[in-house]
């Protein structure tokens, strides 16, 4: 960014510097040709000289990146992609059991033994179509990801235990789904229990403005049991139907963008990040910038620890090759230049450090700064 001086103003508006200095002198300001000018002063001076000056600031690299991520695709290149589904619900209503059942029905027998790492997301195939499930640790994380601008969910499955009904966190989950503007499918769960009360639950849902389709509303309610597996096929079919109605599409032909679901450091493999590809196709060898981390993609794995050559939209992958561990909710983008990725990542780290220093307040010692 060139500094705004008497000289650069003179060059920009095509008037002699002497003339500008003259006006300033009359105002009682003794400046030289190299003196810095305030933007406002420069605008006033130009006005006085009858020139319409516009001060154009170079676009922030972060804005440019966001623009690149948001770049709309030609509708003709869009293809269907699997829906990305998040399961939310009150504590103990059976989310984990349901998810485990959905997965175990689908996990290939050849899954690499021994490695039982936490899976942040996985895909299920039904009728030859894929569905992607994101395993967020709860509605708080869901809200936080959204607050950070990482909107990865297309459909929310709200798990409500048929014996317990709508509970405080159920209400919060409904609010989150509504704020995200995504369709909601209810899994009326634990229907194997004798003390279930389905009509009461439907009523409690209606009181939260979630009206079941069977009551004339537009929310599909599927009876499920994570214990017996009842209703899981129907749940998947309902989700596929919901996806069909909403037409989730993406361009797979562009460099990949998406978000980090979670990340950790592995002793042998270094930083590992669970990413979900939202647009484009991620490939081995790509240069990835993810939050403050960057690097060349060394390998990408699916949830079965199988190595992939490429990952199209809606694929969750575990990526090795970043230099540090990114944060959940960090967006990632593929760039064509490793130096650029490094530069942006380093700038972000500097900015992050300044924020943490200035937010600490009070007096800082040298030690504070070195340890920041």
Nearer to ligand GTP by Cβ, of 228 and 354: the residue is 228
**How distant, in Å, are the alpha carbons of 30, 33, 46, 122, 213 from that of 15?**
18, 13, 9, 65, 72
Residue 319, classed as helix, strand or coil, is: strand
> Do 332 and 263 contact (CB within 8 A), yes or no?
no
Task: For the chain, list the strands marked E by DSSP.
Answer: 79-80, 84-89, 121-126, 129-134, 155-161, 184-189, 221-223, 249-250, 257-266, 270-279, 282-283, 287-290, 293-301, 307-308, 310-311, 316-322, 331-335
Selected range binding Mg ion among 90-98, 133-141, 282-290, 328-336, rule: CB under 5 A: 90-98
Tokens encoding 294: 């960057």
> Do 24 and 9 contact (CB within 8 A), yes or no?
no
Residue 246 annotated as part of some ligand binding site:
no
In the complex, the smallest distance separating the C-beta of residue 261 from Mg ion, rounded to whole angstroms, is 16
Residue 238 annotated as part of some ligand binding site:
no
Nearer to ligand GTP by Cβ, of 226 and 271: the residue is 226
Interhelix angle 95-104/232-246, rounded to 10 degrees, is 90
In the complex, the smallest distance separating the C-beta of residue 365 from ligand GTP, rounded to whole angstroms, is 43
From ligand GTP, Mg ion, none, which one binds at residue 308 (CB under 5 to 8 Å depending on kind)? none
Among 34, 47, 71, 96, binds Mg ion (CB under 5 A): 96
Residue 96 annotated as part of some ligand binding site:
yes
Residue 251 annotated as part of some ligand binding site:
no
In the complex, the smallest distance separating the C-beta of residue 263 from ligand GTP, rounded to whole angstroms, is 21
Nearer to Mg ion by Cβ, of 81 and 190: the residue is 190
Q: Which of 172, 166, 178, 156 is nearest to 238 (CA)?
A: 156
Binding of residue 356 to Mg ion (CB under 5 A):
no
Residue 160 annotated as part of some ligand binding site:
no
Nearer to ligand GTP by Cβ, of 44 and 230: the residue is 230
Tokens encoding 288: 């990835």
> Do 229 and 245 contact (CB within 8 A), yes or no?
no
How many C-beta atoms surround the C-beta of residue 181 within 10 A? Answer: 7
In the complex, the smallest distance separating the C-beta of residue 142 from ligand GTP, rounded to whole angstroms, is 13
Binding site for ligand GTP (CB under 6 A): 89, 91-97, 189-190, 192-193, 225-227
Binding of residue 34 to Mg ion (CB under 5 A):
no
From ligand GTP, Mg ion, none, which one binds at residue 280 (CB under 5 to 8 Å depending on kind)? none
In the complex, the smallest distance separating the C-beta of residue 150 from Mg ion, rounded to whole angstroms, is 22
Q: How far apart are CA 191 and CA 230, in angstroms?
A: 8
Write out the binding residues: 89-96, 135-139, 189-192
Write out the binding residues for GTP: 89-96, 135-139, 189-192
């Amino acid at each position: 960014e060139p500094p705004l001086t008497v000289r650069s103003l003179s060059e920009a508006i095509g008037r002699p510097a002497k003339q500008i200095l003259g006006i300033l002198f009359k105002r009682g300001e003794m400046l030289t040709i190299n003196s810095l000018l305030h933007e406002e002063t420069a605008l006033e001076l130009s006005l006085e000289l009858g020139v319409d000056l516009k001060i154009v600031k170079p676009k922030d690299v972060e804005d440019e990146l966001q623009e690149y991520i948001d770049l709309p695709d030609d509708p003709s290149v869009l293809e269907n992609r699997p829906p990305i589904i998040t399961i939310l619900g009150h504590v103990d209503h059976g989310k984990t059991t349901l998810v485990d059942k959905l997965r175990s029905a689908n996990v290939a027998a050849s899954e690499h033994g021994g490695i039982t790492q936490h899976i942040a997301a996985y895909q299920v195939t039904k009728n030859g179509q894929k569905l992607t499930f994101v395993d967020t640790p709860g509605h708080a994380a869901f809200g936080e990801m959204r607050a950070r601008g990482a909107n990865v969910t297309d459909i929310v499955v709200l798990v409500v235990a048929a014996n317990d009904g709508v509970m405080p966190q159920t209400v919060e989950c409904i609010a989150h789904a509504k704020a995200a503007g995504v369709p909601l499918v209810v899994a009326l769960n634990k229907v194997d229990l004798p003390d279930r009360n389905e009509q009461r639950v439907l009523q409690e849902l209606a009181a939260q403005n979630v009206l079941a389709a069977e009551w004339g509303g537009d929310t599909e309610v599927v009876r499920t049991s994570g214990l017996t597996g009842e209703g899981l096929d129907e749940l998947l079919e309902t989700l596929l139907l919901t996806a069909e109605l909403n037409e989730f599409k993406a361009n797979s032909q562009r460099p990949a963008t998406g978000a980090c679901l979670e990340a950790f450091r592995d002793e042998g493999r270094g930083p590992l990040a669970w990413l979900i590809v939202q647009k484009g196709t991620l490939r081995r060898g790509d240069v990835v910038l993810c939050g403050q981390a960057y690097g060349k993609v060394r390998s990408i794995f699916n949830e079965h620890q199988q190595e992939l050559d490429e990952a199209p939209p809606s694929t969750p992958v575990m990526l090795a090759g970043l230099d540090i561990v990114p944060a959940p909710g960090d967006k990632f983008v593929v760039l064509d230049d490793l130096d650029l990725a490094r530069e942006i990542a380093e700038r972000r780290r500097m900015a992050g450090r300044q924020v943490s220093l200035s937010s600490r307040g009070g007096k800082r010692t040298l030690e504070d700064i070195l340890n920041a």
